[in-house]
Structure 1
Amino acid sequence: MTKKMNVESFNLDHTKVRAPYVRLAGIKEGKNGDVIHKYDVRFKQPNKEHMEMPALHSLEHLMAENIRNHSDHIVDVSPMGCQTGFYVTVINHDNYDEILDILEKTLKDVLAADEVPACNEVQCGWAASHSLEGAQELAKQMLAKRSEWTEVF
């Protein structure tokens, strides 16, 4: 058995998960009663495939901007360094089914987009690294397997 790590995802056996999926990865309670839920939104099978950076980068911009149109509980949308998915963090909201619906609506927004928001040198740290078409292909692939999102293993 490997040593328990501080980072929740480091304790997840990445050889046993089956992407795509949406998994509750953690819950943190604040001193003032706020509750943070972190979701692992996995687009690609770990150690078998990954998202190319321009597509991932554009998908991050599109999701981060559009997801907030569907919920006031969103704290952040963060890409995973392994390029297989994102973390979506919400505050004071614990309805898993509603999170799935919010993600579905957000990915449909990605498909309908005609540009990547904040894709310029003023608003983005690497504006040259974007692909709207790549982001839309990732969203299309994820949506095609919507019925599988709740099956992690």
Structure 2
Amino acid sequence: MNVESFNLDHRIVSAPYVRLANRKQLPAGDVIVKYDVRFAQPNRAHLEMPTVHSIEHLFAEKSRNHSDRVIDFSPMGCQTGFYLILQGEPAYDEVLALIEATLTDILDATEVPAANETQCGWGANHTLEGAQSAVRAFLAERDQWSTVYAA
């Protein structure tokens, strides 16, 4: 299939994890990479939409304090994780460090950025507490992020 994640057997992955999902060389030679940042076990658990929405806002804003490579941070429709798109080909350890630093910033946040009707299409659909709880759980499993498949 054309979509990389449709070729992933979601029954055998073991969340939480961070995996390189795609590498693309653009016509002008630039390279972008896409990481699957999986918070919840597919088909068994998911994040509630206000939590997803708030993590998206927080990560999108705070990650750019740590890297100029960030192109986008987007939620998965299945609500089990996010896609992190970066310019170039940073080392995997650099990507993990970016994610960890950004998530740590989220724990220190006092509000969700742009969570209002002027700056967001559904400004009332946010939960800082939910985002911080999900992030805290993901960070607690930091030593498992490199393991995509169960043993």
TM interval, shorter chain, is over 0.9
Which range moved further: 19-28 or 30-39? 30-39
For residue 122 of structure 1, what is the amino acid of its counterpart? T
Q: Which runs of 5+ in 1 are unaligned?
A: none
Q: Give the match for residue 17 of structure 1.
A: 13
Q: Which runs of 5+ in 2 are unaligned?
A: none
Q: Runs in 1 of length 4+ with deviation above 3 angstroms?
A: none
Where do 1:56-71 residues align within 5 Å?
56-71=52-67
Q: Give the match for residue 133 of structure 1.
A: 129
Distance 1:17 1:33 in 2: 32
Distance 2:27 2:130 in 1: 41
The Cα shift of 1:94 comes to 2.7
Distance 2:33 2:94 in 1: 13
For residue 85 of structure 2, what is the amino acid of its counterpart? T
For residue 55 of structure 2, what is the amino acid of its counterpart? L
Describe the superposition over 1:99-142 as per-residue Cα deviations: whole angstroms up to 9, x where unpaired: 00000000001000000000110100001100000000011000
| Correspondent of 1:121 among 117, 121, 126 | 117
Distance 1:61 1:91 in 2: 20
Residues 1:50 and 2:46 are matched in the alignment:
yes
Q: Give the match for residue 92 of structure 2.
A: 96
Distance 1:66 1:93 in 2: 20
**TM-score of the aligned structures, taking structure 1 as reference length:** 0.96
Describe the superposition over 1:32-51 as per-residue Cα deviations: whole angstroms up to 9, x where unpaired: 11001000000000000000
Distance 1:34 1:80 in 2: 25
Distance 1:107 1:29 in 2: 28
Q: Output the aligned Cα RMSD.
A: 0.5
Describe the superposition over 1:51-110 as per-residue Cα deviations: whole angstroms up to 9, x where unpaired: 001111101100000001100000000000000000000011331110000000000010
**TM-score of the aligned structures, taking structure 2 as reference length:** 0.97
